Amino acid sequence: MTTRTLFESRWARWLLSLAFWTFLGLSFAGQFYIHASKVGLDVTWKEAITNSLGDWYVFAVLSLPVIYLARTFRVEAGHWGRSLAVHLVGCAIFSLSYMVLRGGVASWQSGAPFQEAFKSLLVKTWHFNMLTYWVIVVASHAVEYYRRYRERELRALDLEKHLAQARLQALQMQLNPHFLFNTLHSISSLMHKDVEAADRMIVRLSDLLRAALESSDTQEVELEQELEFLKRYLEIEQTRLGDRLTVKMDIAPETLCARVPNLLLQPLVENAIKHGIEPRARPGRIELRAERHNGSLALEVRDNGSGLPEGEDIEEGVGLSNTRARLRGLYGDEHRFDLCAAEGGGLVIRVQIPFQTGEDS
């Protein structure tokens, strides 16, 4: 919080306090005027307001040390006995101080002797003053409890935020070695068939890992950057699978600036290759689409593989389950992640997240 903000906030509290005591004074002035009119006393509005504001402005001044005592000696478990003793003494001093100050104000307003004003106040206001003291103490306690509650709530939200970030970071760290293991397995398989192709895959893998490490601390990247990473991964897979893998991308230009979870598309495409393309000898195709629908970004990964066995549930591996958990952590209920059979065979994975750009974030 800046010094200027703190200053403005302090002045706001003073103005609110003044408005509160003024409101009480005017309320009692109206009550006093109406009562005086009914019993036949000759009291003007000016006299009623002057007397009532005199009463409550004195209470306003005396409330400052009472609030200090209430904050310093809180009546709560552990040391309520000492605090109660302090407040009993403070209550008596408060009542006596009110009568002295109010008597001085009344003597100045009317010109009457101070002793007479003090004696009248002693009879009329001693117990009311004590009651006012305890009302101020209770109100101060209530405000303090609410402030502590808000602080605990903000701390809890902050801890929850940091916990969510830690979980997302852990999920991303889990995804990197998973991807590396699968890629190395592909290179190992290719080593026995085409050494030169395996060598090219190693070079591309080094570029891919460099890109992954550069963004390892980033939860979201632009879709354009995510697609560049995916293309490097697909170069490795197309080197391994050759003509058996065809990739078609239909990316709406306005979606390239949208922010998506880092390493979102790679496990989805990997799943399509592993379960839709690789098990079959004939050529396979993967289609990737990105569109903007109102305030959402819609992504789709579709393959023309054998699809889902009828009547069987989908078994999600590390990549898909990790992706689902990351989407839930980043977007909560504002996302969709669906896997279903595609028309004409194969599997389609649809992801829908809020459309956000770097400026929105």
Pairing relationship of beta strands 336-341 and 245-251 according to DSSP bridges: unpaired
Q: Reduce the DSSP state of residue 218 to 3 states and report it.
A: coil
Please state the pTM of the whole predicted model: 0.53
Identify whether the C-beta of residue 91 lies closer than 8 Å to the C-beta of residue 130.
Answer: yes
> Tell me, which fold does domain 193-354 have in CATH?
Heat Shock Protein 90 (3.30.565)
For 172, counting Cβ atoms within 10 Å of its Cβ (0-12 exposed, 13-18 middle, 19+ buried), the class is: buried
Q: Please enumerate in sequence order all residues whose Cβ is within 8 A of that of 62, keeping only pairs 6 or more positions apart, or say none.
A: 94, 97, 98, 101
Q: Please name every residue paired with 299 in a beta bridge, in sequence order, or none if there are none.
A: 290, 351
Token duo for residue 180: 């590396």
Tell me the C-alpha to C-alpha distance, in Å, between residue 204 and each of 52, 117, 183, 197, 217.
85, 96, 11, 11, 22
pLDDT of 177 reads 67
- The span from the CA of 129 to the CA of 82, in Å, is 22
* Annotated domain spans of the chain: 3-156, 193-354
Q: Please enumerate in sequence order all residues whose Cβ is within 8 A of that of 128, keeping only pairs 6 or more positions apart, or say none.
A: none
Token duo for residue 22: 């003024």
pLDDT of 285 reads 92
Picking from 85, 65, 77, 70, the residue whose alpha carbon sits closest to that of residue 137 is 70
Q: What is the pLDDT along the chain (361 residues), one digit of tens a residue?
A: 444 444 456 677 778 778 888 888 788 888 877 877 777 777 777 777 877 887 888 888 888 888 888 888 887 766 678 888 888 898 889 888 888 888 887 777 677 788 877 888 887 888 888 888 898 888 888 888 888 888 888 877 775 665 565 555 555 555 556 667 767 777 787 777 778 878 888 888 888 777 766 766 677 889 999 999 899 888 888 887 888 899 999 999 999 999 998 888 988 898 888 888 888 878 889 999 999 988 899 999 999 887 776 656 666 776 788 788 888 888 888 999 998 888 878 889 999 999 998 765 5
pLDDT digits (tens, 9 = 90+) for 269-280: 988 888 888 888
Largest CA distance in the chain: 115
pLDDT digits (tens, 9 = 90+) for 113-160: 888 778 888 878 888 888 888 988 888 888 888 888 888 888 777 756
**CB 322: neighbour CB atoms within 10 A?**
19
pLDDT of 289 reads 96
- The span from the CA of 9 to the CA of 16, in Å, is 11
pLDDT of 84 reads 85
What are φ and ψ of residue 162, in 5° steps? Answer: -65, -35
Tell me the C-alpha to C-alpha distance, in Å, between residue 29 and each of 21, 46, 52, 180, 252.
12, 9, 5, 80, 71
